[in-house]
Amino acid sequence: MESISLLLGEALSPYQVTLTPSGTHGECLVILKSAAGAIVVEREFNQAQLTDKRQLTDVVDGLHRDVLIAEGRLEPCVIAALRNAAQDKILANRN
């Protein structure tokens, strides 16, 4: 888990990344803090998402998007488009 924390730290710089086990089913809590120490994003992931290279890329992309939203750098219309795209992807995977 240490190497995953380092990878996330590099990918999400300049934010400080904290990765801690949470839950009883292998969940991990990822916390991103600003340089001032304020929590910007806090999300829980299944450990499998963090150990698979493809899923880890999706995790980093999602965290980056969450940072943009939290900091107000992503327009509401873009957020809606991203949600629609995610919904379409879920529906496509079910078929």
Task: Record the tokens describing residue 67, joined without a space.
Answer: 């940072």
Interval 25-38: pLDDT, tens: 888 999 999 999 99
Separation CA 6–CA 35 (nearest Å)? 17
User: What pLDDT score does 28 carry?
Assistant: 92
Q: Rounded to two decimals, what is the model's pTM?
A: 0.74
Which residue ranges make up each domain of the chain? 2-94
Task: Record the tokens describing residue 37, joined without a space.
Answer: 């120490």
Phi-psi region of 26 (alpha: psi -120 to 50; beta: other; left: phi over 0): left
Interval 52-87: pLDDT, tens: 888 999 999 999 988 988 888 877 677 788 888 888
Q: Which residues pair with 29 in a beta bridge?
A: 20, 44
CA distances from 93 to 56, 57, 65, 81, 83 (A): 19, 18, 22, 18, 15
pLDDT category at 95 given cuts 50, 70, 90 is low
Separation CA 46–CA 23 (nearest Å)? 9
